[in-house]
């Protein structure tokens, strides 16, 4: 039982780390490192079920990987940078994607209050985001990084058989998902699927949505 639980939490931690990296790391142009790195990282997703949103996401990402393996990586990376700017920073168009900041989804008229609530949650958990990132605390990449840190704490507590610590961290994870991430990120994923111009980001839109639905089931256990 313990080994199975460790496997599950490590899998969740790995996914959250990958998603945090996807949204937090800049895409330099010119350059090809980002496209190359994520093309190689996609092999780690082969374990995912080939059906539903996961199946469609994997299909799109495999298409991207095929093109990346035999294409102009520098041009591919340029297209990824343009697409991510549109998906993460927004445009002036009326039907544009709402950028992935929690406050813009949950309380656009009271952004400061929403930001304060999420910062207080981080403080309650005793976790700090790396000083190397200069994003708002309600940015999706920061929230993914926060969940990855909670999963790390859960794994350590489980491995050292600290039952009370384990249960405390688990409760924090579920509380954060229910009060914050799950309340808005699924909506954002739907917008990414509709508006992404690259198979890379549309594929991740499907994968993230599928993963978050699994996390929703996790919260209900």
Helices (H), 25-139: 33-41, 52-70, 73-89, 102-106, 111-125
Map tokens 């949950």 to a residue: 106
Q: Which residues contact 150 (CB under 8 A, 6 or more apart)?
A: 125, 127, 169, 172, 173, 176
Q: How confident is the model at residue 31 (pLDDT cuts 50, 70, 90)?
A: confident
**Residue range 112-153, pLDDT digits in tens:** 999 999 999 999 998 765 655 678 999 999 999 999 999 999
Domains of the chain: 2-219 (1.10.3480.10)
**pTM, rounded to two decimals:** 0.92
Q: For residue 54, which phi and psi values (nearest 5 degrees)?
A: -60, -45
């Amino acid at each position: 039982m313990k080994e199975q639980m460790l496997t599950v939490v490590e899998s969740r931690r790995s996914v959250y780390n990958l998603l945090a990296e996807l949204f937090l790391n800049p895409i330099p142009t010119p350059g090809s490192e980002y496209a190359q790195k994520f093309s190689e990282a996609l092999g780690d997703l082969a374990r995912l079920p080939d059906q539903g949103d996961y199946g469609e996401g994997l299909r799109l990402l495999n298409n991207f990987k095929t093109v990346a393996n035999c294409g102009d990586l520098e041009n591919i990376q340029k297209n990824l940078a343009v697409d991510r700017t549109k998906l993460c920073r927004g445009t002036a168009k009326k039907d544009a994607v709402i950028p992935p900041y929690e406050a813009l989804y949950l309380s656009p008229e009271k952004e400061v209050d929403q930001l304060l609530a999420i910062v207080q949650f981080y403080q309650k958990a005793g976790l700090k985001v790396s000083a190397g990132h200069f994003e708002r605390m309600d940015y999706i990449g920061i929230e993914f990084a926060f969940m990855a840190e909670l999963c790390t704490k859960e794994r350590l507590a489980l491995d050292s058989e600290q039952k009370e610590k384990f249960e405390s961290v688990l409760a924090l994870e579920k509380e954060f998902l229910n009060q914050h991430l799950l309340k808005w990120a699924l909506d954002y994923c739907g917008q990414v699927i509709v508006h992404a111009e690259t198979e890379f980001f549309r594929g991740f839109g499907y994968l993230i949505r599928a993963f978050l639905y699994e996390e929703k089931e996790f919260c209900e256990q």
